[in-house]
Amino acid sequence: MKKIKWWEVLLFAIVVLFVIIIINDRQDVTKNPDIPKIIEPEDMYDGYPTLFKDGNYARLDDKATLTMKTEITDELEIRGYYSLFKLYAAFAGAVYPEDTYNESGYCKGKVWALSYGHSAPEEVPDITFALGTDKIGITSGHVSENMTLVGKEALVFHVSSDNEMDNITTEQIKKIYSGEIEKWEEMGIDGEYIVAYQRDGNTQTIIKHFIDDISFTTAPQEKYDYHGRSRVKIADYRNHKGGIGYSLRYMTHDLVNSGETKLLAVDGVLPTDENIRNGTYPFVLEIYAATRDRGRYPAATYEAIMEFIEWMTGEQGQELVTKTGYVSLY
């Protein structure tokens, strides 16, 4: 048996140490509190996500052309994606009458943001707001042919403003998130190792809807404190030169407006309002208002619901879509 020489042991130890340092360098950025995270806007829900008279929602410039009756709004149940709550709260807040609210200012009906994908058929909301494509709610169990397009959104990819990259291809996205591309220099960009941040929940489901032919690499992890116990979760995106992440465009407005983060063009197309509206940007999402079947309601109730839906697609409803931060239909 060959005797192992001391210098071979030393060389092996140096290689192992070098690998550990590289791995730690790539992961430490997820633990650095000085590198800002990209998170949901702080005022997104204003506390408990239910309609509140004085909530921080978009408001119309003029009085709404539609006012619903209290006997309808008191019974109407509206819910949907958390990320869309500000939008449908603005819709309801514009057309619900004054006596809709109790003394504390909360809606006596049910306009709130809760998960809704696993409800029994009789528990499905009267109006559900969902993100989807081709009249399919991506993460919704709400199956209905009665889906009305009320606005648009997009899945966007973002990097630090210090990153030289401005455009990325769909193929590069696949190679990054499958682990095939690990360094920016492999794409002709000056920089360090790529830290490809991922999300959990709806956003992760959405990216897999668009990119369903790859096996995603393990997401960066970070520790967090849970009632005094250390736990591990998928790391939040941190805005450093080596990072890349994805999100709904609505979630990125604050950091993009601050100049710290930029959105990438995908296949040469930027996620502008116009490119999202006309569908040239490749990762467009549609905002739907899904309603229940006509036969479940008295004629007057169904007529009121449909009038509300039609108002959302009209001039004032689309004004609120834009003011909330989504893309209007026209």
Q: Give a yes or no: residue 90 inside a domain.
A: yes
Given this model, what pLDDT does residue 296 score? Answer: 86
- Cβ proximity of 199 and 234 under 8 Å: yes
Indicate whether 175 and 266 sit together in one domain.
yes
Query: How many angstroms separate the CA atoms of 306 and 299, rounded?
Result: 11
Indicate whether 200 and 299 sit together in one domain.
no
Question: Token pair for residue 169?
Answer: 């291809």
Given this model, what pLDDT does residue 150 score? Answer: 97
Q: 193: domain CATH number? A: 3.40.190.10
Query: How many angstroms separate the CA atoms of 128 and 113, rounded?
Result: 10
Quote the strand ranges of the chain, DSSP E.
77-80, 110-112, 127-133, 136-137, 147-160, 167-168, 195-196, 221-226, 229-234, 243-248, 261-263, 265-266, 284-291
Q: Give a yes or no: residue 64 inside a domain.
A: no
Q: Give a yes or no: residue 88 inside a domain.
A: yes
Indicate whether 165 and 228 sit together in one domain.
yes
Indicate whether 191 and 243 sit together in one domain.
yes
Q: Give a yes or no: residue 65 inside a domain.
A: no
Given this model, what pLDDT does residue 117 score? Answer: 46
Given this model, what pLDDT does residue 144 score? Answer: 57
Indicate whether 212 and 262 sit together in one domain.
yes
Q: Give a yes or no: residue 33 inside a domain.
A: no
Indicate whether 81 and 190 sit together in one domain.
no
The segments of the chain whose pLDDT lies below 50 read: 19-25, 116-118
Given this model, what pLDDT does residue 241 score? Answer: 92
Given this model, what pLDDT does residue 23 score? Answer: 47
What SS3 state is found at 111?
Answer: strand
Indicate whether 142 and 188 sit together in one domain.
no
Indicate whether 197 and 218 sit together in one domain.
yes
Number of domains in the chain: 2
Indicate whether 262 and 224 sit together in one domain.
yes
Indicate whether 241 and 308 sit together in one domain.
no
Sequence-separated (6 or more) residues with CB below 8 Å from residue 77: 109, 110, 111, 125, 126, 127
Q: Give a yes or no: residue 11 inside a domain.
A: no
Q: 227: domain range?
A: 153-278
Q: Give a yes or no: residue 48 inside a domain.
A: no
Indicate whether 146 and 159 sit together in one domain.
no
Indicate whether 245 and 200 sit together in one domain.
yes
Given this model, what pLDDT does residue 19 score? Answer: 47
Query: How many angstroms separate the CA atoms of 140 and 117, rounded?
Result: 5
